[in-house]
Amino acid sequence: MRDELTDLTDAAAAAPGGPTGTPAAPAPQGEQGAPAESDEALLARARTWLAEDPDPDTREELARLLAEVEGAAGGSRDGGQSPVAELRDRFGGTLQFGTAGLRGELGAGPMRMNRAVVIRAAAGLAAYLREHGTDGSGSPAGGVETGPGAHRAAAGAAPLVVVGYDARYKSADFARDTAAVVTGAGLRAAVLPRPLPTPVLAYAVRHLGAAAGVMVTASHNPPRDNGYKVYLGDGLQIVPPADSDIAARIAAVGPLAGVPLPESGWDVLDESLVDAYLARSGAVLTEGAPRDVEIVHTALHGVGAETARLAFERAGFPTPVAVPEQAEPDPDFPTVAFPNPEEPGAMDLAFATARRHAADTGRRPDLVVANDPDADRCAVAVPDPDAASGWRMLRGDQVGALLATHLIHKHARGTFATTIVSSSLLSRIAGAAGLPYAETLTGFKWLARVDELRYGYEEALGYCVDPQGVRDKDGITAALLIAELAAELKQSGRTLTDLLDDLDTEYGVHATDQLSVRVEDLSLISSAMVRLRSQPPTALGGLTVSAIEDLTHGTDTLPPTDGLRYHLSGDPDTGVASGRVIVRPSGTEPKLKCYLEVVAPVTEPCGLTPARDRAATVLTHIKQDLHTASGL
């Protein structure tokens, strides 16, 4: 096994600097609004930062900006921002380490993602682990496999940190710096062999018995962003108080010159780790179950293509048909406006590939499957002759219900869980099967902590179907399981759409939608939340607001969070039995998000379409009323 990283910086060297000069909305995790300071004080701080910046790309970028500031007479740069204003934007605070780790735009300065920020983050994490060790980070949960003996911690051994990274700009550099800082701090570090999906890193933490894991990724954020996601030794993402404890240690890091950065001393894992992940992924399937299902797959320019292909082939499925324009990692994400399968237009090339494949072979694919760039999410589309593209994207709630139904059919036992912003249909499916059900705050950092979790999902295309292997969302295993379900249905002459019809008929149409408002000025989100609290709506979409919960106070089962939950009572005139609306600021993007659900019973024969139409109409009216109520 190699003990040095010999290939981590190849991608970064091929495209130095990346898209670091693109203006962006303020990063949600940054501290903005620091006290005003003089231009001279601002320049002095920037020069101090420049002097210790270890990255020649960001040094050059900052030096160029400083020269513009020093020679400017109040003029504006491209994009309308003056050099001084841009400098204040970069140095107006620091990216804050929280339960989402770090995420922001690439570039120089403490309000950007760069090597200096990552080195400090790694040093703070190492200090936390030196203090807490495996006890403070959480011992690996029961049922975890025994990993390679060379890495599993023996008594008295230094804690191990596993580092993964995607193919975004600077990801390789950030991973190497993390390994170096961890090693220099007297801990052990092991880096994944190449850019790989986030679920592989999450698996590795548990498989190797590590004290912590770091994944360098910005998931489905725009190309200009990168991020730093931390897991502790139980394979779970961090939550309070660990996040604030680590943040405090990051803040205590002194000058970068005092952070040891050795050139070697860490391990680079070999392909046996990937093989172990693939073997574990295939174990979610039933041996001997049908495998005759044809799939078009897109990785959206991310790192999931090869892992997904190998997983499908090893499980006995036909090799997925790749979307050629999006199969190889590309940090520019050139064919999509946003590399997120939920965004309009992101699936267009996948649908075009499916149509082309049908024309060439005479066989229409059964499914289109997409992973987001770090492959922890999974999107599914089904044939739809009424759609212009010939395909229809399923909502995350629909896929979540399908996977739950399939797991119950496979005799899965344990707690089924989802989040407060996801459909309530899962509670009914679990209840009918006599299984425990739980509901958490948004995000797998909470879902994965549910006692005796067997299955968890969130509406944003995240599914955990094997919590003992990957205690986080995993787009690869979810894709395998939905393919197995589609193959079983196909063998009996049915489709995923038919099963969705069955669920709606049995439990009522649980129609969901989302209103998402992206802003440039984060204060608009705060103002909207204030307005909704001070002037709450009494009706939404023709339904009476029967109760309002301000989630900042928490509930009997939920910790406090910035959000509002409206319970809606049914109205005979609308044909809807009940409804629910959650309003919350996004934790990773400059957005206000509103999650909507209405339940319309199917009461008459052949009444499925009318019930869906009624529910869709009410959802549209709720959206309109929320626009007015929020002032956005």
Q: Say how many C-beta atoms besides its own lie within 10 A of residue 500's C-beta.
A: 19
Helices vs. strands in the chain: H and E counts, helices first: 18, 21
User: 518 has which bridge partners?
Assistant: 591
Answer whether 379's CB lies under 8 Å from 393's CB.
yes
Q: Say how many C-beta atoms besides its own lie within 10 A of residue 361's C-beta.
A: 11
- Strand 321-322 relative to strand 295-298: parallel, antiparallel, unpaired? parallel
Q: 379, exposed or middle or buried, with CB in 10 Å at 0-12, 13-18, 19+? A: buried
Q: How many CA atoms lie within 13 A of 215 on its CB side?
A: 29
The DSSP call for residue 80 is: S
Whole-angstrom Cα distance, residue 135 to residue 297? Answer: 41
Length of the chain: 632
Answer whether 599's CB lies under 8 Å from 508's CB.
yes
Whole-angstrom Cα distance, residue 541 to residue 66? Answer: 53
Whole-angstrom Cα distance, residue 382 to residue 422? Answer: 21
Q: Is 389 marked active-site?
A: no
Whole-angstrom Cα distance, residue 479 to residue 389? Answer: 22
Whole-angstrom Cα distance, residue 401 to residue 367? Answer: 17
Whole-angstrom Cα distance, residue 217 to residue 473? Answer: 15
Catalytic residue (choose from 137, 171, 219, 427): 219
**Assigned token pair, 47:** 């020069």
DSSP secondary structure string, 567-591? EEEEETTTTEEEEEEEEEE-SSSSE
Answer whether 116's CB lies under 8 Å from 52's CB.
yes
Dihedral angle, C-alpha 417, 422, 427, 429, nearest 10 °: -100
The DSSP call for residue 331 is: T
Residue 531 has phi, psi (to 5 degrees) of -65, -40
Catalytically annotated residues: 219
